[in-house]
Structure 1
Amino acid sequence: MKSTLKAITHELLSTRYAEAYSSFKNETEELTPNEILAMCDVIYSLYLSDNFDKVNSAMSDSTVRLYRSVCLYGEKENSLHQTLLSPHLSAYLLGSLRLLQTKYSLSLPAKQWILNEKLSNNLIPKYPLKYKLHPWRVSHWLGGVLSIVYNLNLIHDEDIDKQNLFQRMIDSYEHNIINKNGLIDLGAAAPIQSLFDVLYKIRHNPEHGKIGGIVHITWIYHAIDRKYKGLDRLISYAEKLILEADGFMEDVPYCLDFDFLQLLRTGYSQLGISSSKDELFLDWRRRLEIYMSTEAESDSRFSLHKLPGALASIRECELHLSKSDNGMHDIIKAAGWL
């Protein structure tokens, strides 16, 4: 399937999603957050599909210019900034730059950071209180800011994190917001949380949202080889949910499939039980590959933003089955975000 996956992805990017390529060509045009998201989607998809030879210096230069012109989350705003980015999109752009650095030497401008102002006294990112009951939404702040701090030290030559903020943040997370089950717990009253879950279930599965939330933090744990808190309970819970799934975790392949597969692959590895779980990953690789080869090009629900998640999900299956944790397709090790 490898060569087919490469060809299918190239065909999708060249035809159905060709408009996204134009985002790399407009050097002076201000881009919307959705256009920036599409640029990152293209970079990740090319990387994950072994099409990174299609990335040229013009695309790399365009992404660096974008980095210069936007205001990332936690950056001090100035009059030259065109667009303010959310924590998620900021982390996604930094991840894209890390992927580009595997091919090009990037000259990235210095930025002024005020990350401490985005944190509470216990070093938890300040998130919109309206999302307090929504672990997946909140995780874009919790995991996104953590990924930003982590990646800034990797994409710049000098040490950005002189106050050891990254290590202090992740220690605070483990002490303050990750419970004994390994899930995000922001202290909401149980009856109120239960009511939210009932209402949320009208459109989505709240249990899936709990996994989709914590992974934005455990990704960074994996990046630094740190053991997940509540490992046994967390992995048992995620395994139960994925085995109950009929088809994909959403209507088409997307990041939520990756969330579960990546958590289980790395969690099984930490528990030392990877060899007994091959059947699960064989089944999911088969599902994903069949969809990519027979439905992806014609399914209108399969948007560009879903493509990196689908590709990364397949790579997680391959990483598990090959019993390798060091390949280029470990996207969290390579980019620190998805």
Structure 2
Amino acid sequence: MKDAILRYLATHHAAALDFWRRPGRQATDAEAPEASVEQLCDVAYSLHLAGLADEIAPDAGVAFADVLARHRLPGWRADDTGPSVGLSVHNCAYAFGTLNLLRDTHGDLFQRAVADRTFRPEELVDAGTARPKFPRWLAHHNWRVSHWLGGVPSLLWSAGHSALPDAARIRRLARASLEATDAWLEAGHGFIRLYRSSAVHRLFRTAYRLRHDPDLGDVGGVAHILWVNHVAGRPYIAADRVLARASDLFQRHRPFMETRPYCLDFDVVQIVRTGLEQTGAPADGNAPRAAEMLRDLEAFFASGLTADYGLHKLPGALATYHECAAICGQHDTPFGPVQDIIRRACWI
């Protein structure tokens, strides 16, 4: 399977793969990579999850940090105008997750990525409540808005556990923002509730159902918040109910949550795996279902990695494979040891 992953990357995403593999690569203004930051993160995560991290050149980590230094980062500002191209909260958390993955082999590169910019927490959280800021017009869309509700604590957690001079302060804010986010989870069932009108929300779910299962949107949304709680060792709100709903989706959608495997599969399966750990519930039907999904993923990796399969889907599919293996009690996979990618990177 490793060969299939590498072949897919080399055939369909050569520029992003080449950035990580080519020795001596240095990102400068005159020689920017022909790939977006998200694509670079996609490839880095995929290589790590596929047991191919040794494909990453020794100087590629520094080059990646230099790419980030040329982008506006939410929560950091230079005294002058600074870079014109910015990252979303989601992609900043993803980029910081990539730096987390690179730390053991390339050192702590956060300072190089942040460069001489000043930390501006008011861009990320409300000064009074520490709640993550998000576009209010998205309050009805749990999956979309969760990229802020989870992304802000995630990027703060990553930066707070780095070698940045402000790390201790950022670390405290990360925990405060994570705790503040609890207020947006219904205590009765543990899912995001930001909408004010139940009638309008029902209309949204009806429209959403034309393309997606709205229950998948709810579970995929809260997953972004639960990831950081998992890293922080915090108990999930209504963990038994969250587990029950994720398990139901896990059983109901086959072979994958939608047509092909991607991050939504990971959202569901990772909640099942960590929910089982948090509640102490027996795996019961989840272990056979995970074994079935392992076989389906293996078949997909063998024949489904075609040109029309989006690069951003691959890390989620690979991470799902590791989660299924963990549910089955496995310690090793064809990609190497089972990985808890969220504990390693704090985002995906």
Q: Do these two structures clear the TM 0.5 threshold for a shared fold by scoring above it?
A: yes
Q: Compared with structure 1, are the counterparts of its residues 32 and 206 closer, same or farther at alpha carbon in structure 2 (3 Å cutoff)?
A: farther
Q: Give ranges in structure 2 of 5+ residues lacking alignment.
A: none
Q: Compared with structure 1, are the counterparts of its residues 259 and 30 closer, same or farther at alpha carbon in structure 2 (3 Å cutoff)?
A: farther
Q: Distance in 2 between matches of 1:74 and 1:30?
A: 26
CA offset digits 1:231-278 (Å, max 9, x no partner): 111111111122111321122110000000101001011111244331
Contact 1:252 1:301 in 2 (8 A): no
Equivalent residue number for residue 124 of structure 2: 118
Q: Which moved more, 1:6-15 or 1:269-278?
A: 269-278
Q: Could you tell me which amino acid in structure 2 is paired with residue 65 of structure 1?
A: D
Q: Compared with structure 1, are the counterparts of its residues 33 and 154 closer, same or farther at alpha carbon in structure 2 (3 Å cutoff)?
A: farther
Q: Distance in 1 between matches of 2:313 and 2:183?
A: 33
- Root-mean-square deviation (Å): 2.2
Q: Distance in 1 between matches of 2:89 and 2:344?
A: 19
Using the size of structure 2 for normalisation, the TM-score is 0.88
Match of 2:38, SS state, is helix
Q: Give ranges in structure 1 of 5+ residues lacking alignment.
A: none
Alignment of 1:96-175 (within 5 A): 96-107=98-109, 108-109=111-112, 110=115, 111-120=117-126, 121-162=128-169, 164-175=172-183
Equivalent residue number for residue 53 of structure 2: 52
Q: Distance in 2 between matches of 1:235 and 1:224?
A: 19
2:205 matches 1:197: yes
Q: Distance in 2 between matches of 1:184 and 1:136?
A: 9
CA offset digits 1:20-55 (Å, max 9, x no partner): 235555532586996111100110000000000001
Q: Which moved more, 1:7-16 or 1:37-46?
A: 7-16
CA offset digits 1:51-75 (Å, max 9, x no partner): 0000112311211111222221111
Q: Compared with structure 1, are the counterparts of its residues 181 and 51 closer, same or farther at alpha carbon in structure 2 (3 Å cutoff)?
A: same
Contact 1:328 1:334 in 2 (8 A): no
Equivalent residue number for residue 313 of structure 1: 320
* Identity across matched positions, percent: 31
2:344 matches 1:334: yes
Equivalent residue number for residue 290 of structure 2: 281
Q: How many residues align?
A: 331
Q: Compared with structure 1, are the counterparts of its residues 204 and 43 closer, same or farther at alpha carbon in structure 2 (3 Å cutoff)?
A: same
Q: Distance in 2 between matches of 1:124 and 1:57?
A: 38
Using the size of structure 1 for normalisation, the TM-score is 0.91
Equivalent residue number for residue 259 of structure 1: 267
Equivalent residue number for residue 16 of structure 1: 12
Contact 2:16 2:34 in 1 (8 A): no
CA offset digits 1:268-318 (Å, max 9, x no partner): 11111244331121011111111111222x3x4311111111110101111
Q: Could you tell me which amino acid in structure 1 is paired with residue 224 of structure 2?
A: H
